[in-house]
Amino acid sequence: MKVMDIFETMDYGPAPEAPTPALEWLQKQQAFGLFINNRWVKPNSGQYLESTNPATGKSLVQVASANQADVDAAVEAAQAAFEIWSKTPGHIRARYLYALARHIQKHSRLLAVLEALDNGKSIRETRDIDIPLVARHFYYHAGWAQLMTSELPDYRPLGVVGQIIPWNFPLLMLAWKIAPAIAMGNTVVLKPARYTPLTALKFAEIVQEVGLPAGVINILTGEASQVGEALVRHPGIKKIAFTGSTEVGRNIRRTTAGSGKKLSLELGGKSPFIVFDDADLDSVVEGVVDAIWFNQGQVCCAGSRLLVQEDIAECLLAKLRVRMERLRVGDSLDKAVDMGAIVSPAQLKEIQRLVQQGLEEGAQMWQPSWACPTEGYFFPPTLFTNVTPASTIAQVEIFGPVLVAMTFRTPAEAVALANNTRYGLAASIWSENINLALDVAPKLKAGSVWINCTNLFDASSGFGGYRESGYGREGGKEGLYEYVQPAWKAEPQATKAKRAAQAQAGKSAKQNGDGGVTELEADAQEGAVEGQAAVNGYVPHLPAIDRTPKLFIKGKQTRPDSGYSRPIYEPAGRLIGEVGEGNRKDIRNAVEAAHAASSWAAGTAHNRAQILYYIAENLAVREDEFARRIAQQVGCSYADALSEVQVSLSRLFSYAAWTDKYEGSVHRPPLRGVVLALPEPRGVMGLACPDENPLLGFVSLVAPAIAMGNTVIVIPSPKAPLSATDFYQVLETSDVPAGVVNIVTGDREALSKVLAEHDDVDAMWYFGSPEGSRQVELASTGNMKYTWVNHGRARDWLDVKQGEGEEFLREATQVKNIWVPYGE
C-alpha cells in the first residue's frame, strides 16, 4: 500500500472535547434565575424552561421563564443605572469593556463548550470563530468608549435598549448588541433565544465578576410571547435592536411604529455566491463549504445560492460533490466534524419541508452517500441543481445546509440573478480578475460583499442588510450611530422651548426698540396706499399673470391626475395661490420617473457636486423672489425670510462640498486585506417636508439625498408648498437630470402613506406629525423600507447642528462593506 493510498482510505477517529467542566458548571446552578441589577432573581411566573442539547436531544438545564413583571423590573433597573452609566466617563466605561473582553478570554473554553452543547454547532467553530470574535468585539468597543467624547462629541446615548437575539450565534450576537450599546453609555435588557440561553447566563456571571455597575446589563430568559413582545412594547425602552427572521422583524416594526423607539433590524437573507469562469475552483470549493455548511447553514448571510458561469458549472459541481462526500457530520463536541446538529426539531422539520418542496417543484437533489447520526437533529449537506430562479428554494431562506445552484453566462446576467431576491444581506464574488470583481461588487444589492472569501466578520467592519434583510449596521464606527442620538435631541424639550421663547422675546424687543418696521410691513403699507388711490380715482390696474404650479415629475411640470387644486392661504387668511392636489397615481408616476433616473448614482460625485453648486447659483439669482414668497407664506419679516434663503444657499454649498468627501472608510480587520466601507445611496427615496421653513426645510432634505446619489419624490409642506413649486424653475435651469427630483404637492399624510407602502420606494423620510410618523413606520413594513421620521418633534432648521451634516448623509446612505483579502 502506498502512502497516498493510506491518505485516501484513512478515516478520522473521534476527537472529543471533554464536556465535564461545562456540565459541572450547569449542575452547580440547578436552575437559572433572571439576571436583574447584577443579581439572580426568581421569575415572577415561577416557571422554568428546559434547554436541551440538539446533538443528543437530552436536557441540559432549566432556565427561568420571565414575564411582563420581570421585564418591568429589568427596565426599571436599567433606567436607574442609565442615570449613572451615561454620565460615567468614557475612560471608565472603556475599562469595564476591556475587563469583559479579558474575562471572556479567561473563560473562553468553557464558553465554547457551553455554546456547542446548547446550540449543536461544532466546537471547532465555537472555539476558533465565535468566542474569539466575542472578545474582539468587547476590545474594539472599549476603544470607542474611550474615544466617544473626541470622536462623537455631538452625540449622546439613548437610554435603555431592548435587545433580542437569535439562536444561531448566541454569544456572538450578544456581543454585537451589548458591546456598542454600553460603550456609548446606554444600559440594556437582553433576551436570548429560547433554544440557546446558556452562554448569555455565563456572560451574566462574568458581568458580576467584573463588577459592572448594577443594572447596566440585564438578561431575561423566556418565551418570545412573554419577554420579547413585552420588551418591544415597553414605553421605558428607547431602542430595539433585533436579529432574527424577517417576519418577526416586520412585526416589531409594526408594533414600534410611532412610538419614537429607534430600531435596528438584522433579518434574513438568500445570499448569492457568484463564481466566474476564471476563479480558482479549489478555493471556490472550500469557499462554498464555508458559505453554506458553516454552522449547518444556519447563518443569516449564508451563501445559499451558488451562481456559476455556465462553462465551468459541470466541473465545479463535480468537485463540490467529491468534497461533500468527505464532509463529516456529528456530535458538536467532536473536533473532527465539519457540521454539528440543527438547533431544534422544529428547525429540522422546516428544512425538511422546504427540501421536499424543492423536489416537488422539479429541482434535482444530491446528498452524500453516508448517513447522519440517528440520535439528535441532523441534516446532511445538500445540493440542488436544475433550479429555476423563481422556485421556492431559490427564493425562500431555508436556514439549513442546503445549497441551490444556478448558472449564468455574462456578468450582467450574474448581477441580475444575484439581485433577484427580496433580501440583500451579503454576497460573495469569486474571480481572479480583481477588475471584474470590483466592478460587480457595487452593483450587488447587499450590505457585505466578500471578494474571493466568504462569511468574514470583524468588529471593525459594519454588518447589516439592504432591502428586506433589514437596516442598521453592527460593528465599525457606523454601528455606533445605532446607539446614540444628536445631543440637541437628548436635551429635554422644556429647555428647548424656553430657549426658543427667550430668542423670540429678544427679537421682539429689538423690533420695538428701534421702532422700525420690517420690509414686508413696508411693502404692505405701500400696497395699502395704492389700494386707497384705486378707490378714490381710476388707477389702471394690471392683474398678475395667473400662475398655477403643477406637479414636477420626470423633469416636467405635470397636471395632477385628480384635476383638483388646493388653495394656499397666508397666515392672515388671504388666498395666495393654488397647487395641484397630487394622488396615488401621481406618486406612482413619480416613483417610475425616479427609478428611470437611477443612473444619477452611477455618475461621478464630482458631477453631482457641480450640479448642487449650480442649483445654489440659480437660487441666488432669485434670492429676493424666494424671500418674498417665504414671508408671504409664513408671515415672517422679509429679513427673516431672506436669511432663510441665505441659509438654504449655504446648505446647498455644504452638501455640494460633502458630495465628493463623504466617501466611506477603509477598515483593517486582523487579516491580510482591507475592507472598503462604501456609503451607497438608498435608492429611490420619499421625502415629506416639514412645515417650518418652507424653502430651507425642502432644501435640507433634498440636497443631502441627491448629493448621495438617491433620486427623490418630495412632498412639500402642505401649509407652505409654494417655495417648493417655485423651485421647479431653479431645478430646470440647473442641469438636474429629469426624474432625480420629483415634487408632488397635496395632502402630506395621504401621499406619505402611499410612498411608505410603495414596494419600489427604498426609503422614506417624514417630517410632520406624530400620527403621520407612526403611519409611515407602519406602512413601511411591506418591503421593510428604511424610514426616518421625526415623531412630530420639530427641528430648528436654521441651526447647522440640527439642520445639516453627517446625520443627514448617514440617513441618505447605507454602508456596503467590500472585503478584499490579498496575498498569494
Catalytic residues: 266
Minimum gap (Å) between residue 556 Cβ and ligand NDP: 43
Candidate segments 224-232, 515-523, 676-684, 784-792, binder of ligand NDP by CB under 6 A:
224-232
Please identify the residue of the shown chain whose CB is closest to the bound ligand NDP: 228
Q: Taking CB under 6 A as the rule, does residue 232 contact ligand NDP?
A: yes
Candidate segments 222-230, 616-624, 630-638, 743-751, binder of ligand NDP by CB under 6 A:
222-230
| Matching residue, cell 452524500 | 368
The C-alpha cell that represents 290 in the structure block? 464555508
Binding mask 363-402 for ligand NDP (x = CB under 6 A): ----------------------------------x-x---
Name 566's bridge partners. 579
Closest to ligand NDP by CB, 82 or 167 = 167
Q: Taking CB under 6 A as the rule, does residue 194 contact ligand NDP?
A: yes
Binding mask 330-359 for ligand NDP (x = CB under 6 A): -----------------x--x---------
Q: Taking CB under 6 A as the rule, does residue 191 contact ligand NDP?
A: yes
Among 245, 518, 610, 646, binds ligand NDP (CB under 6 A): 245
585-607: burial string, b at 16+ Cβ within 10 Å, e else:
ebbebbbbbbeebbebbeeebee
CA nearest 624: which of 609, 607, 608, 642?
Answer: 642
Closest to ligand NDP by CB, 245 or 650 = 245
Q: Taking CB under 6 A as the rule, does residue 218 contact ligand NDP?
A: no
Separation between Cα atoms, residue 636 and residue 633, nearest integer Å: 8
Separation between Cα atoms, residue 407 and residue 8, nearest integer Å: 32
Q: Taking CB under 6 A as the rule, does residue 118 contact ligand NDP?
A: no
Separation between Cα atoms, residue 105 and residue 132, nearest integer Å: 8
Separation between Cα atoms, residue 330 and residue 121, nearest integer Å: 10
Compute CA distances 530 → 22, 371, 437, 536, 537, whole Å: 93, 98, 71, 10, 11
Q: Taking CB under 6 A as the rule, does residue 70 contact ligand NDP?
A: no
Q: Taking CB under 6 A as the rule, does residue 63 contact ligand NDP?
A: no
Among 120, 213, 268, 690, binds ligand NDP (CB under 6 A): 268
- Count Cβ atoms below 10 Å from residue 513 Cβ, excluding itself: 8
Tell me how many residues contact ligand NDP (CB under 6 A).
26
Binding mask 293-312 for ligand NDP (x = CB under 6 A): -------x------------
Q: Taking CB under 6 A as the rule, does residue 797 contact ligand NDP?
A: no
Minimum gap (Å) between residue 816 Cβ and ligand NDP: 18
Candidate segments 35-43, 244-252, 276-284, 410-418, binder of ligand NDP by CB under 6 A:
244-252
Compute the chain's Rg from CA coordinates: 30
Residues in contact with 514: Cβ distance below 8 Å, sequence separation at least 6, in sequence order: none
Separation between Cα atoms, residue 260 and residue 790, nearest integer Å: 8
Among 19, 159, 162, 244, binds ligand NDP (CB under 6 A): 244
Candidate segments 145-153, 239-247, 471-479, 690-698, binder of ligand NDP by CB under 6 A:
239-247
Which amino acid is residue 183, in one-letter code? A
Give the phi and the psi of residue 532 in degrees, each rounded to 5. -60, -45
Q: Taking CB under 6 A as the rule, does residue 223 contact ligand NDP?
A: yes
Judge contact between 67 and 74, C-beta under 8 A. no
Minimum gap (Å) between residue 100 Cβ and ligand NDP: 22
CA nearest 429: which of 516, 326, 308?
Answer: 308
Compute CA distances 256 → 9, 26, 250, 473, whole Å: 58, 37, 10, 19
Minimum gap (Å) between residue 205 Cβ and ligand NDP: 20
Q: Taking CB under 6 A as the rule, does residue 448 contact ligand NDP?
A: no
Report DSSP letters for 687-745, one per residue.
EEPPSSSHHHHHHHHHHHHHHTT-EEEEE--SSS-HHHHHHHHHHHTTTPPTTSEEE--
Report DSSP letters for 329-374, one per residue.
B--TTBTT-SB---S-HHHHHHHHHHHHHHHHTT-EEE--SS---S
- Contacts with ligand NDP in 154-173 (CB under 6 A)? 164-168
Q: Taking CB under 6 A as the rule, does residue 215 contact ligand NDP?
A: no
Among 17, 130, 229, 474, binds ligand NDP (CB under 6 A): 229
Q: Catalog residues that contact ligand NDP under the rule CB under 6 A.
A: 164-168, 191, 193-194, 223-224, 228-229, 232, 243-245, 248, 251, 266-268, 300, 347, 350, 397, 399
